[in-house]
Amino acid sequence: MAEAGREANVITFLIRRLVLLIPILFGVSLVVFLMVHLVPGDPVRTMLGTNASPVEQPTLRHQLGLDKPLPAQYLLFLGNLAHGNLGASIISRRPVIAEIGDRLPATVELTIAAMVIAIPLGVGIGTVAAATRSGVFSGTLMVAATFGVSIPTFWIGLLFIYAFALRLTWFPVLGSASLQGTVLPAITLALPAAAVLARVSRSSLVEVLHQDYIRTAQAKGLTRGSVVRKHAMRNALIVVLTIVGLQFGGLMAGSVIVETVFARPGIGSFVVGAISARDYPVIQGITLVYASFYVLINLVIDVLYSLVDPRIRIG
């Protein structure tokens, strides 16, 4: 009975959070719609160029629906969104959902690869630094983590291209969808995230190691490594899980820079071109996809809380 009640609570929780996704995406769509339409620039002039005749611009603007008032354009966008239609790209005239579908797998692959590198690297460094917090080694690790947070991602990418692609020729200069072409972009994207996880892991673990039950475990004769692995780490993971969720969403957004630097075909490089061309439907569609990822990832993290710490219950 208790297990059935717990499953019912989980299902209720998931349904409630999924319903809350609707007003969140509505708010995101409204903010993005207003922001992209207030940015200076005209997509019609971008498409036709400076030599277009006076007749061509009004005709194209009417075909794209850009001659309507902003409220009418937004209501049209919401109507299409309710039917699962994100509109059509102003530049390519293809459905936005098709454009995103062609590029999203490459971005998701890059993000997952970066997380696979960042989580063990960051948590491992943070754990070692916390376990040896009074030593020079711990301080060195934290200084390295600080550098990882401080150095811009694009600069790390350029250094990697110069060192490993141009000088050593171990990897292709420009990123591709192949495994070899994913290594440098994934490491570039992972290092700042690993640095953040290292700092958070160390702080959380140091706080847990000062708890009374940790001193009790040590008084029973357990080694420090055993205490960290079996007792402290599980409680420290609650904070780390929160940061992992935020970092996953951050890496999805941060792929814009990395994919641009490595000329990798993905959502990041695509949205840069869309912003330059004032392709409103594409910008709005990609932003909604990113917002959905953020909300769903946070939902998964909330469920994982109860798995990591049995004291946390989903009600």
**Residue 87: inside a domain:** no
Of 117, 134, 90, 295, nearest in space to 189 by CA? 117
Rg for the chain, CA atoms, rounded: 24
Together in a domain, 131 and 10: no
Together in a domain, 106 and 74: no
Distance CA 115, CA 9 (A): 30
Single-letter amino acid, residue 35: M
Distance CA 209, CA 232 (A): 6
pLDDT in tens, 44-63: 666 666 666 667 677 767 76
Which residues, 6+ apart, have CB-to-CB distance to 160 below 8 Å? 184, 187, 188
pLDDT in tens, 65-100: 777 777 888 888 777 777 777 777 877 778 888 888
Together in a domain, 136 and 68: no
Q: Which domain-ending residue is among 82, 109, 136?
A: 82
Q: Which domain-ending residue is among 53, 82, 111?
A: 82
- Domain with residue 186: its CATH number is 1.10.3720.10
Q: Residue 224 belongs to what domain range?
A: 96-308
Distance CA 235, CA 309 (A): 7
- Tell me what pLDDT residue 109 has: 86
**Residue 173: inside a domain:** yes
**Residue 89: inside a domain:** no
Is pLDDT at 108 greater than 70 in this prediction? yes
**Residue 313: inside a domain:** no
Together in a domain, 111 and 58: no
**Residue 120: inside a domain:** yes
Beta bridge partners of 88: 95
Q: Which domain-ending residue is among 41, 56, 82?
A: 82
